[in-house]
Structure formats: C-alpha cells, structure tokens
Structure 1
Amino acid sequence: MRRPAPPLHRDDPKKEPLVGHVKVTREDWLNVARDILVSDGEAEVKVLTISTRLEVSRSSFYWYFKSHKHLLDALLDEWENWNTRLIREHCELPAPTITAAVCNFFRCFIDPARFDQGLDFAVREWARRDGKVRARIDRADSARLKDIAAMFARFDYSADEADARARILYFQQLGYHALEQTEALEDRMARLPHYLLGFTGRAHTGDECDALNDFARAVLAPPQE
C-alpha cells in the first residue's frame, strides 16, 4: 500500500495561502514527481508532464530546480531521508522485549502514511538501469540493516546473531511487499505470534500482539463517511 499522495499546496486548507504570482511550491513539484515515479517509472518523470498536472508553465520549474537532474536527485534525497529515517526511528523506539521491538518495526510498514513501499520499489527498479542509484540503494540497505541489528543487540543477541536476524527480518519484509501479498488482516495477525517466535527465537506476550492488532485495525480502517 502506497503512502497517500498529499494534496497540492493550493488545495490544502492546512497550508498558508500562496501569495503573489506563485501557483505551486517546490513541495508540489516533488510530490507530483514522486507520484509519477511510483506509478510510471523514472523515465516518465518529465518537466512537461509534471507542469501539465500542476497546470503551470514549465518555466516555473526553474524557480525551484536547476535542472531535470536536480529534480531527480531531490527525489532520491526525499526517498532516503523518509524511508531510511523511519526504519531507524521505529527500531529505536523504547520496548521492554525484543518481540515488542519487532512489533514496533512492523508498525512502520503497516501504516501507509509511514514507510513508502511504492517509492522504495520504484527506486529499486530505477536502480536496475542506473549504477549511481544502485549505489544509493546499497548504502540505504546497509544503514537499515545496521539499525535493525542494533535493535536486536539491545536485547543481548551476539553481533553475528543480531546481523543474521536483522537480515531475515528485513529481507522478509521487503519480499512480502514485493510479492504484493493481499492476505486478510485477520490471517496476518493470527500468524503474528509465530512470526515473532521465528524472527526472535523468543516467546511473545499477548499484550504485544493485541497492541499491534489494535494499531493495524485503527490505521487500516476504512474512512468514516
């Protein structure tokens, strides 16, 4: 599930009104570019396409970006700052047990407003054709694995075991979304105790599973009409 696309600045009542001749912001350009990257791929992230969606002239692009490459670099910075930061923050959340810590890790991926799965896989697809993007993916994966391993190490796993369990947990999570699994929430939550035992080798508490179940139901509940 993708992170919801935010409304344009001019359509968002929470934003300050635009002044003068400004019709869109740098954030608007980036948000539309990200949406195109996720839906159509990097090759379709074109200035003309974005300006058409924004209903502005192409010349306004250069108020915010030096070039098309500058825009692509900004997209990569946004991806790395958003997704990698979120994983680190969830791994560092206070937890009384390793199973509770892994539940915190899962929260990052359950809530579509947090880890942007669509963006992550769009960048990975882009990396197949661009060596520099591939290098950034590799660095991001290394940083994420280090954070997850540190989470295990906090609960007295040896360095080697923490590294191995981090890899199992992270690669499983990426694979789950790459395969576009559509299992019912009830089925997924029913497997949670067994997942936790498999990932950590330690027994969970019922409260930990109940708390994650409640969180998942709250964030995935259909909007009220």
Structure 2
Amino acid sequence: MGVASKRSGGRAAAKEGQKRLSAADWASAALTAIGESGLAGVAVEPLATRLGATKGSFYWHFRNREALIEAALKLWEEGHTERVITQISVDPDPAIRLRHLLALVVGYSRHDHIEVALLATADHPLVAPVMRRVTERRVAYVASLFEELGVPADEARRRALLAVSVYLGHVQLAHAAPETLPQESDEWQRHLAAISTALLP
C-alpha cells in the first residue's frame, strides 16, 4: 500500500504540476520554437515534451495550433516592441531615448533569431497582420521622438523609416553574413555612433 500510495501521490503531483502550466508557458515555448525552426517548429507534441506536459494541457488552453501561434505572436509583439518602448520612454530627453533605442535594438539584432524567422514567413496569414502592426508601431514611435526634437512631421516619418530600416538590415546581416558587422567592442560602439550621427538632427 505504501508503494502504491507513493505512486498515486507522484501521479497526482505530476497532474497538479501540469494544471499549473499556463497558456503563457505554452506561448513562450512556441515563440522559442519559432526562433529555432520557424513556424514549422510549432508542433504540439514536441512542445508538450519540452514542457513536460500532455496534449491535454495544450487543449485546455488552446483550441488548435493556429491559436497557439497567435498567442506566441502576441507575446513577441508585447516583448519585442511594447516592452522596449516602455523601457526607453523612462528618460525625458527624446535625443537620449533615440540613442538608447538605436543602441538597444541594433545591438539585439545580432542575436534576434525570432525576427529573422518571422520575416522569412512575413506573408503567412497569421504573421502578416502582426508584422504590419508592429512595423507601423515602431515607425510611429520613432517618428514621435524626432517630432519631440522639433523635426517636422513628414521629415520625422522619413527619418523613422530609415531608423527601422537600419534595424531590419542589421537583423538580416547578422543572420546571413555576421562577419560583415563590426566584431570588436570599440568598433561596434563607433558603428552605433555613426548610425546616431546619420539619423539624429
């Protein structure tokens, strides 16, 4: 009876642990899989194995794979755009915010496998509207910083488009030809300074 009790207790604990697995846990695992293998990496059974969960846990939170992808994309949008904007917006000086933003996102672009994967599937019906919304949000936010610096709205929009293009270009370069980017720390800092000088009024 003691062994049986321990086994049933272990199963109960395992089930309890699976109950505590949240939709956010699944979305985070799916987003990691996208960074590793693209949308094809979002498959229920491998993700369940990774999470130590069952398929039943998945269907408790999501009706199908598409719903999981949507949740992962929402998580990406919040973490890679909205959270960055919140972090940058703390400083009252728009010029400092712009420099910090450029340094942060261009620096991060060297390791951003998720954005590379999403750009590769930007025409997918689930990905396309999110990419459009995120891109417009980024451009609009950067344009607002230039406007705070006294740049007219049309010119601010043009500079913002250039800034976002620089970021996306770095994402692609870091993926396709990382050796073309500065490797040494001092050289990288000079590179960032040159970008800021080119973009800031």
User: Normalised by the size of structure 2, how large is the TM-score?
Assistant: 0.78
Give me the CA root mean square deviation: 2.7
* 1:126 partnered with 2:121: yes
| 1:37–1:147 CA distance, 2 compared to 1 (3 A) | same
Letter in 2 for 1:109: V
**What is the aligned counterpart of 2:77 among 77, 80, 99?**
80
Q: What pairs with 1:142-221 in structure 2 (closer than 5 Å)?
A: 142-180=136-174, 181=178, 182-183=181-182, 184-201=184-201
Identical amino acids, percent of aligned pairs: 21
Query: Which residue does 1:219 correspond to in 2?
Result: none
User: Structure 1 residues 53, 192: closer, same or farther in 2, change over 3 A?
Assistant: closer
Distance 1:170 1:44 in 2: 27
Distance 1:142 1:97 in 2: 19
Question: Aligned-pair distance for 1:19?
Answer: 8.5
Is the 1:91–1:147 Cα contact (8 Å) retained in structure 2?
no
**Cα pair 1:90 1:104 within 8 Å, conserved:** no
CA contact (8 A) 1:87 1:144 kept: no
Cα offset, 1:119, TM superposition? 2.1
SS in 2 for 1:94: coil
Distance 1:47 1:97 in 2: 44
Report the Cα distance in structure 2 between the residues aligned to 1:30 and 1:132, rounded to whole angstroms: 15
Partner of 1:22: helix, strand, or coil? helix
Q: Is the 8 A contact 2:44 2:65 kept in 1?
A: yes
> Deviation string for 1:134-172 (max 9, x for gaps)?
122112111110000000000100111111111111110
AA of the residue aligned to 1:76: L
In the alignment, the residues of structure 2 paired with residue 176 and residue 110 of structure 1 have an alpha-carbon distance, to the nearest angstrom, of: 7
Q: Distance in 1 between matches of 2:160 and 2:33?
A: 32
Per the TM alignment, residue 132 of structure 1 is displaced from its structure 2 partner at its CA by 4.1
Alpha carbons of structure 1 residues 131 and 31: separation in structure 2 relative to 1, 3 Å: closer
- Aligned to 1:66, what secondary structure does the other structure show? coil
Task: State the distance in 2 between where 1:68 and 1:178 align.
Answer: 28
Instruction: Indicate conservation of the 8 Å contact 1:86/1:108, yes or no.
Output: no
Hey, what does 1:103 align to over in structure 2?
Answer: 99
Deviation at 1:97, TM superposition (A): 5.7
Residue 35 of structure 1 corresponds to 32
Q: Which residue does 2:89 correspond to in 1?
A: 92
**Map of 1:58 onto structure 2:** 55
CA contact (8 A) 1:126 1:133 kept: yes
Work out whether 1:22 is the aligned partner of 2:20: no
Secondary structure of 1:56 counterpart:
coil
Equivalent residue number for residue 216 of structure 1:
none
Give the letter for the 2:121 counterpart. W
Report the more deviating stretch, 36-45 or 132-141.
Answer: 132-141
Contact 2:116 2:171 (C-alpha < 8 Å) held by counterparts: no
| Number of residue equivalences | 181
TM-score calculated relative to the size of structure 1: 0.70
